[in-house]
Amino acid sequence: MTPLLPTPDHYIYNLITMTSPEAKRMWRRAIKEHFDCQCVYCGEHYELHELTLDHVVPRYFGGQTITRNLVPSCRKCNQEKGTSNWLSWMRATFGCNPNREQLILSHIK
């Protein structure tokens, strides 16, 4: 399993890889594996390549591209969430789910 580090550059600093594209691939994979290849919003499991990474705080609102702001999401949830507030959108779409909400909260804090 790939270690979960804060940014792609950390894979290079830690000599886990020597190239930037590989660092980015490892980083993206590590985030998905960290969540057991599950979409954090709907809770379904997917193959690695089927999952996207969602900015919890959208880039549009200044959300950074760092581990703490990225979670695996299926394409459908990623698209539907768009620039909505993740918690309001999630509750409106799936109802209240304390386990999944806590999973996200502990990742982004």
Residues that bind Zn ion (CB under 5 A): 39, 41-42, 74, 77
Are 39 and 73 within 8 A, CB to CB?
yes
Q: Which is nearer to Zn ion, 16 or 42 (CB)?
A: 42
Q: How far is the CB of 6 from Zn ion (least distance, A)?
A: 24
Q: How far is the CB of 93 from Zn ion (least distance, A)?
A: 9
Q: Which is nearer to Zn ion, 3 or 76 (CB)?
A: 76
Residue with tokens 């990225």: 70
Q: Which is nearer to Zn ion, 62 or 98 (CB)?
A: 98
Q: Collect all residues with Cβ–Cβ distance below 8 Å to 95 and sequence separation of at least 6.
A: none
Q: How far is the CB of 79 from Zn ion (least distance, A)?
A: 10
Report the 3 state secondary structure along 10-36. Answer: HHHHCCCCCCHHHHHHHHHHHHHHHCC
